[in-house]
């Protein structure tokens, strides 16, 4: 029961993470204009991964997509690639996870196959979460670098008017989504251990070799067999073993002993 709950919860959390990655990638507010020095403005600018937008005070918003690919910075294109890879891996992981659910029976699929599929989907979710977190972090690093460079230029008087951009809402959505995908993948990997069938344990069986049980004795004794019949001794006054004499010689019974 605990394995099923862990698997279902991992699927739900991972689904939320993948959906958050898709929403974050499609949002336009990856970077927004900083209004710290000029809180009242007639134009508000913000940018995303696919287009830049301008919103006027009248409420009219105009967006313009990026018509070039080679003209964009290399780090910007790397962020795009990381987010797309994370989304693709997340969607594939969801498809694999659906067929790996323990509460769903498809044909005669064994538990070992479901365990392998669960582990595969968990690894996909972990990689997708790492791609999303890495992409958002790289973009945030670009914003921080450009922000302080613009601030330094403004204070040096090199440029009077300079638009500075700060973190947009899409960055926070991407961080949360990547974290959810990462946690969901870890939960799926933990559920894989419960789906693995227990290894069959065989009890040790001792086998005795057929044939005679020959016992070996050291020293001048002869080799004896365990199946040799025991010799019967005749009990009688005449057939008792004579005691040895004090000088070491053996004494034999006399004829008077048989009377």
* HSE of 69, CA atoms in CB hemisphere, 13 A: 3
Residue 103 is predicted with a pLDDT of 73
Backbone angles phi, psi at 88, to 5 degrees: -65, -45
What is the reported pLDDT for 80?
93
**Residue 92 reports pLDDT greater than 90:** yes
pLDDT band of 4, cuts 50, 70, 90: confident
Query: For tokens 């894989």, what's the residue?
Result: 192
| 240 confidence band (pLDDT: 50, 70, 90) | very low
As to burial, measured by CB atoms within 10 angstroms (0-12 exposed, 13-18 middle, 19+ buried), residue 25 is buried
Mean pLDDT within 67-92: 91
105-163 confidence digits (pLDDT tens) = 776 777 788 888 889 999 999 999 999 999 999 999 998 888 877 666 666 655 555 67
User: DSSP character for 28?
Assistant: S
Tell me the pLDDT of the chain averaged across its residues. Answer: 76
- CA 143/CA 13 separation, integer angstroms: 29
Structure token digits, residue 232: 């019967």
Predicted local confidence at residue 22, as pLDDT: 95
Look up residue 105 and give its two tokens: 């029976």
pLDDT at position 246: 46
- The pLDDT value given to residue 111: 72
CATH T-level fold of 1-34+72-195: Butyryl-CoA Dehydrogenase, subunit A; domain 3 (1.20.140)
pLDDT of residue 242: 46
Comparing 4 with 22, the larger pLDDT belongs to: 22
Question: Which tokens go with 20?
Answer: 């958050």
Across 65-70, average pLDDT:
84
Domain definitions of the chain by residue range: 1-34+72-195
7-33 pLDDT, tens digit each: 889 999 999 999 999 999 999 889 988
Q: pTM for the complete prediction?
A: 0.69
What gap in Å lies between CA 139 and CA 199, rounded to an integer?
A: 48
How high is the pLDDT of residue 218?
A: 52
Higher pLDDT, 63 or 258: 63
> Of 31, 20, 2, whose CA–CA distance to 165 is shortest?
31
53-57, 134-138, 243-247: which has the minimum mean pLDDT?
A: 243-247
């Amino acid at each position: 029961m605990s394995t099923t709950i862990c698997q279902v919860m991992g699927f739900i959390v991972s689904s939320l993470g993948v959906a958050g990655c898709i929403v974050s990638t499609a949002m336009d507010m990856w970077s927004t204009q900083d209004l710290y020095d000029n809180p009242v403005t007639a134009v508000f600018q913000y940018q995303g991964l696919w287009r830049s937008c301008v919103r006027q005070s009248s409420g009219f918003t105009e967006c313009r997509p990026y018509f070039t690919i080679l003209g964009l910075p290399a780090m910007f294109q790397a962020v795009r690639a990381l987010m797309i890879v994370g989304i693709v891996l997340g969607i594939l992981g969801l498809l694999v996870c659906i067929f790996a659910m323990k509460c769903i029976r498809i044909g005669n699929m064994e538990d070992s196959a479901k365990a392998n599929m669960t582990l595969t989907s968990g690894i996909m979710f972990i990689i997708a979460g790492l791609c999303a977190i890495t992409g958002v972090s790289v973009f945030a690093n670009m914003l921080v670098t450009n922000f302080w460079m613009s601030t330094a230029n403004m204070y040096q008087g090199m440029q009077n008017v300079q638009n500075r951009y700060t973190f947009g809402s899409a960055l926070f959505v991407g961080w949360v989504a990547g974290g959810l995908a990462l946690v969901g993948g870890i939960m799926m990997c933990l559920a894989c251990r419960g789906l693995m069938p227990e290894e069959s344990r065989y009890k040790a069986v001792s086998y005795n070799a057929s044939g005679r049980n020959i016992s070996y004795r050291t020293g001048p004794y002869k080799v004896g067999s365990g199946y040799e019949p025991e010799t019967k001794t005749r009990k009688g006054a005449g057939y008792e073993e004579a005691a040895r004499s004090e000088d070491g010689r053996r004494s034999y019974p006399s004829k008077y002993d048989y009377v």
